[in-house]
A and B are shown apart, each in its own frame.
Chain A
């Protein structure tokens, strides 16, 4: 039965467990039940920016049916959302709003960067007004390439995120160390403002650092 956890951390006698299963008793950790509930009801923020939003709508519609994954409840308010799908080009004018929305979401929160623009600026990377990837400002859990990604790709990203949630520690002393939502520190990202040439700060050093080019002497 696939429902059963494969990575439970507690030690249980395998024979005893299979005996119990025959009687309809399933011994799992509380954490597994908790994560199973969390991953099966991810509520995304109903927030589209550009072209990818249309594919996001197609994913939620009848043919691809996002509700098979329990993630069809698009919330208009960030206060009720677990997942932000950054679907489209984030411009420098839009970036403060996107980051503010991320800050307004309650923990635990996840981000999927959907499409080439959201992950790197995509075809518009050379544009003066386009952010070169939303992961410069907010922590991104899953990146989906594509311009726009097909609905199947978004579903795959969602399954990847579910796998990530499945393996997160939420209870016990480990949780504070491995799950950022339980670390107790402030996960607010600084909101950039328009500076003289670019957004200030140009990136969030907590989540992204510019590549350092090391040249041999």
Chain B
């Protein structure tokens, strides 16, 4: 029996550069705690790194546009509430603006003020809950969200008092708002607005300097300025990339030219910028609210002639700076009481188109934060 000497084998030491794993495909969603609804991402992973990401939506396609084309102009006002169900007031306003543009309706002074107040309150509660949800995605297990929702309830109480519903307000009408503010509303609103900065301070003490937020959000999901412009990103996501574009300043719709406020801008365009932009915008909203509450005049709030009308054949595009970006309604009238074509330009849907660009090369856990920082609402994405 001969013995063979075993020659020492040469072991290759991997430097890591040619260490490749198989690409793993994961379907995240539609039931996933951090996809903010029924959104689905088909993610291809190399190790933990995202190499491909395909958003899949349509799980909440509720035929909004088709239903709106089969009902009267006023009939689709309640449906706009359910687009972006966080911000029913701004949805109402954008739609009312489009119809007013088409039919040439004027809005009374007091109604304009009420609209601004409602829109800015909406922005406050939307941004507060967005930051709550974002930290939830970071693993904060709901604690900042509880703070945000506690504050949101005060604003929802105001909405309920004025319109009768907490979330689905259906408050604005063509040529004004549905009803005047109840007595005592403005005083309570002033109190809520005055108390809000205290909440902001508390919130920022908790969050802005937080080590986990800094390390997980900074330089994650960077959206370059050029890409943001080319992909027609709007809203806080665009401004976080350093583009000074706010429809409240650019379009000056309503009476926004009367208020003194600043537009916060980011410099890097990462998740931290998008997160900070929301916090800074809330401070600016409080500023606008204080000015509006101090100067709101008395007077009529709507135009009773505008209830049932038949517009001339025309087309119109009304847009506002919603909390999530440019929300626009495009209407084509053929002279009948129903719109011939009704199209929504949903900000969160269009902001979602750059999700893959922002997530490529990031870790899978960061894709969740990037999605959270875009601020999507599936009712608006799928419509």
Interface residues in chain A, defined as those with a beta carbon under 8 Å from any beta carbon in chain B: 46-51, 53-55, 57-58, 61-63, 76, 78, 88-89, 91, 93-94, 97, 101, 123-124, 126-130, 147-148, 150
Contacts and interface: CB of A to CB of B under 8 A. Distances in A.
Interface of B: 30-33, 37-38, 58-63, 66-67, 70, 78-79, 82, 85-86, 145-146, 149-150, 152-153, 156, 166-168, 378-379
Contact of B150 (A46, A61, A126): A61
A123 B37 contact: no
Given A50-B37, A130-B63, A123 B79 contact: yes
Nearest to B133: A57
Interface of A: prevailing SS: loop
A50 B85 contact: yes
16 contacts: A48-B37, A49-B38, A50-B82, A51-B167, A54-B167, A55-B166, A57-B145, A62-B146, A62-B150, A91-B61, A97-B59, A124-B67, A126-B70, A127-B66, A129-B62, A147-B168
Contact of B31 (A88, A89, A97): A97
A93 B168 CA distance: 25
Which 7 A-B pairs give the minimum distances between C-beta atoms? A127-B63, A51-B85, A61-B149, A76-B33, A124-B62, A94-B59, A63-B153
A129 B82 contact: no
Given A47-B31, A50-B37, A51-B167, A88 B60 contact: yes
A95 B378 CA distance: 16
A88 B60 CA distance: 9
B69 to A, nearest CB: 12
A51 B379 contact: yes
A127 B37 contact: no
A54 B86 contact: yes
B236 to A, nearest CB: 20
A47 B78 CA distance: 25
Nearest to A53: B37
Contacts of A63: 149-150, 153
Nearest to B166: A150
B66 A128 contact: yes
Given A57-B149, A127-B66, A51 B82 contact: yes
A61 B145 contact: yes
A54 B165 CA distance: 14
Contact of A127 (B30, B67, B146): B67
B195 to A, nearest CB: 16
Nearest to B56: A93
Given A50-B85, A54-B167, A101 B31 contact: yes
Contacts of A101: 31
B62 A62 contact: no
A164 B359 CA distance: 47
Contacts of B67: 124, 126-127
